[in-house]
A = this chain, B = another copy of it.
Amino acid sequence: MRLTTKGRYAVTAMLDLALHGAAGPVTLADIAFRQGISQNYLEQLFGKLKRARLVISLRGPGGGYALACKPEEISVSAIISSVGEGVDATRCGGTSDCQDGLICLTHELWSDLSHRIDEFMSAISLASLVARDEVKLVSHRQDCDTQRRIEARAVG
């Protein structure tokens, strides 16, 4: 089991998309700017998100990315799986054969744990994240920040 920046970035970017996608497609440049993520790295992640059919893309000027379906239908679990960060905590990957082809002492434990984690993350959708107070707060702060930085750049 591993949960690294890859999965976290993917969820963060998708949440950004859910928050700012109402007015039309959102560019990766915008997301990268707001969330402080490398745009080139985001491109890699969105390649996977697109292949997993979680987002759709629109090319050309005025283009960008949009959610492929309603925020209620996209779970955190799905996002993380799509970028290749398995929720699986077992060593065998579910095949029960990590000790010379036989089941090991602790397989059941890791299997249970995996199940718990998946349950938790499947129950959380983008919509439920958007509805959270802290998310609203942080998002508002980010928007003000972005506005300020744009103005600063226009002046300078």
Cα A98 to Cα B101 with chains together (Å):
42
Chain B residue numbers with a CB within 8 Å of A135 are 105, 108
* Residue from B1, B89, B107, B139 within 8 A of A105 (CB atoms): B139
Q: Give the interface SS of chain A, mostly helix, strand, loop or mixed.
A: helix
| Contact residues, A12-31 vs B (CB, 8 A) | 12, 15-16
Q: At the interface, yes or no: A5 with Cβ under 8 Å from chain B?
A: yes
- The answer to whether A11 touches B76, judged by C-beta atoms less than 8 angstroms apart, is no
- The answer to whether B36 touches A138, judged by C-beta atoms less than 8 angstroms apart, is no
Chain B residue numbers with a CB within 8 Å of A134 are 103, 107-108
- A 112-124 to B, binary, CB cutoff 8 A, 1 in contact else 0: 1100110011001
Q: Which residues of A contact B (CB under 8 A)?
A: 1-5, 8, 11-12, 15-16, 35-36, 76, 89, 91, 99-100, 102-110, 112-113, 116-117, 120-121, 124, 129, 132, 134-135, 138-139, 141-142
